[in-house]
A and B are shown apart, each in its own frame.
Chain A
């Protein structure tokens, strides 16, 4: 395996904020990612979309900078600042020319610590979000995905899309946003990753100056109700006037910290998310039967602090429905019944250990990787240990996790498309 040549400086401020820096001097570029451990999982009942709307408003004006001035500062560098909010995380990403690194830290500190959520901007951003949720209803895949989550995460804030719902977002008030920010954004819940052409020591110093006095005694993190896998099969169907039928099969998956995670990564490569058409599902449904352009299965990519979802997907013409469904289910059952061959195991191990290096190609990739390492407590030596972990897995391990974590009986089947 090619050695990975990046180094990380980890630093924790007394207030709990975690800072990760990796110098990369190849190009005069910089990527900054701020990550707050509060996403849709922290939405209060009846307020799906609150974490998302809060994140979207972080850069719409702060105590020191009105929105327009902030945008001018950011965009004047030529760089790009964006906010995000997903299942369990929210934050900002800022890519820019490295020489503006001080400005970038200033922007991060202001937006994370002192957003003011101006009323006019709140109202406009809520309207925009509502319209984007309307747009999402036109996308059959997203519709199917949401229907699946409603069953998998039933009774928790995760049953709604992280972006929110039209009904829920309509009810959000400006005070909800202020309260969410007040309760969930805190130094102890924040990770800052810096990758690019910078001097680590200078960055640490500048971060201390801008974040050292941040304190949030009101910080609160809400536990999620326990999640469990469904104990009976379910079905959801929605008619949409389209050419293709979108079929999703799925159920609850595992968190990133699950000891079976790596064996499940091998399972993913063998079953449905290897490169090209090497995996069983795409090889059968696309390469050998020509039923679909897009088809895959996956359980690990959605694993996080909370359990993700196992899903198998195909979009196809309605006349192929039976063959496509049979193909997906057959492959899951076959994997459970017969496991995988030594040859498949070796191939998946070769791929996972060989392609690991792609996680560090750009500054943004590197920043993302640093955050994950920290968030999931993988340890500094994870890149070095990873190949060993993968190589140690056996066909028995994969067969065991296939039986344990996949369920071809008690799953949810979602169909969206031409059903009438």
Chain B
């Protein structure tokens, strides 16, 4: 028998997610374990509730530079040793910073993954801030920022995000503003570290081929003695919905004209965000999507149109980026785009279209749980933004989305008056 006969309505990732366990150490460290012996790998991640959302004007880029410094030495692992250990044990490691979080990962074969826990425990409270290393790493970040600014989409995205948030720190670039970077000091960076890198503000995720009971003992031994600190709970007023379109232009970062339209979108903590996932697929996923049909096929005004949406703690953005065909005015693309967006806000989508979009959501969800590292990413992300149990009923909640919910959501958010519209021109 093949799976072709299985019930299409069963929630297929359930068996994986049902194995997730949450443990809490006395110092507040959240530990999520997902024991899955099928692949001989173990992925470990540490997620801290800190990113550009927790920064202030004039000191942007702190969290990201701090992430870089986490590879520059702690009491047990000197500069370069984290990478040396990772290499010796045949693993991979890296880290990333976003507006809501900073996350670190290791992935090793399951017979040799213990160094991951030792490194993470050491750099959770024993990082060193050598002034010379700090200076070097600031130079590296400066180059990273230049790379981003040199890219057509990078430059446009930074300009649009900045203007989309007049009050909320989501407008700060994750990499920081250049002049802010110049003002940072090792002491300032260390203060940021002491405040946010602590058990009460962190989630440790372990996924893959291991024995949970044994691992928890080890975790207690390595992390249990770290002072708790406190959980970052920064309540910020939501950015008010815009009432007038804001337009901006970026020059000299490319010869091909590009358009980026950013609209407000609900946070992962709001009920309507499931409808947002569905709307995102209806508009932007695949050739049957409305934007592909309209912008690429019927009107043939752009060569690419891609939608961007991610789950965030506070309301953030849904955006469409498009590369314009020759002799097409940006305003024309904008008009066609808003015809489609406003139509979705007026007429509930037909059943067949809704079904396709929901299948796309479910498939994307399942695919994001394929490897131990994928699993650790999804669990850590949701635990940091909200709670990992979000995934338990994700497919059911998507299935329950009604046509009029999608329509209401689009009507509320996808108005031209709410948009920040950036164009890139030579």
Contact = CB atoms under 8 A, between A and B. Distances in A.
B288 A292 contact: no
Interface centre among B80, B88, B143, B254 (most CB of A within 10 A): B143
A270 to B, nearest CB: 10
A interface, how many residues as a size bin? 35 or more
B323 A135 contact: yes
Contacts of B326: 131
A244 B286 contact: no
Interface stretch (A26-34, A214-222, A248-256, A392-400): A26-34
Nearest to A349: B90
A380 interface: no
A231 interface: no
A325 B366 CA distance: 46
Contact of B84 (A127, A293, A294, A347): A347
A418 to B, nearest CB: 10
A334 interface: no
B147 A293 contact: yes
B356 A76 contact: yes
B57 interface: no
Interface stretch (A13-21, A35-43, A137-145, A186-194): A137-145
Interface string A84-102: 0000000000011111111
B143 A293 contact: yes
B241 interface: no
Contacts of B89: 350, 354
Interface residues of B, number: 85
Contacts of B93: 275-276
A28 B4 CA distance: 10
B254 A138 contact: yes
Interface stretch (B149-157, B183-191, B215-223, B410-418): B149-157
Interface in B342-370: 355-356, 358-364, 366-367, 369-370
Interface string A236-273: 00000111100000000000000000000000010000
Contact of A292 (B140, B150, B152, B300): B140
Interface in A186-220: 197-199, 202
Contacts of B8: 99
Interface stretch (A174-182, A355-363, A405-413): A355-363
B182 interface: no
B109 A357 contact: yes
Contacts of B167: none
A354 B252 contact: no
Interface string B73-89: 00000011011101111
A71 B363 contact: no
Given A124-B297, A275-B91, A358 B107 contact: yes
B256 interface: yes
B363 A79 contact: yes
B92 interface: yes
B366 A361 contact: no
Nearest to A120: B297
A241 B370 contact: no
A101 B3 CA distance: 9
A242 B112 CA distance: 45
A315 B300 contact: no
A278 B80 contact: yes
B339 interface: no
A33 B340 CA distance: 34
Contacts of A97: 12, 359, 363, 366
Contacts of B288: 68, 71-72, 75
Interface in A121-158: 124, 127-132, 134-135, 137-140
B147 A244 contact: yes
B143 A317 contact: yes
Contacts of B194: none
A55 to B, nearest CB: 16
B238 interface: no
A99 B152 contact: no
B143 A316 contact: yes
Interface string A277-298: 1100001001111111110000
A30 to B, nearest CB: 9
A27 B13 contact: yes
Interface stretch (A1-9, A46-54, A305-313, A370-378): A1-9
Contacts of B323: 131-132, 135
Interface string B100-138: 000000011111100000000000000000000001111
Among A197, A277, A357, chain B packs the most CB atoms within 10 A around the CB of: A357
A163 to B, nearest CB: 13
12 contacts: A27-B13, A27-B370, A71-B287, A75-B360, A76-B359, A97-B363, A131-B256, A276-B71, A287-B136, A290-B143, A355-B92, A362-B370
Given A354-B109, A361-B41, 15 more contacts: A28-B12, A74-B286, A101-B2, A140-B150, A197-B3, A198-B3, A241-B252, A275-B92, A278-B83, A287-B80, A287-B136, A293-B141, A293-B144, A355-B92, A362-B371
Interface of A: 1-5, 26-29, 67-68, 71-72, 74-80, 95-102, 124, 127-132, 134-135, 137-140, 197-199, 202, 241-244, 269, 274-278, 283, 286-294, 315-317, 347-348, 350-358, 360-363
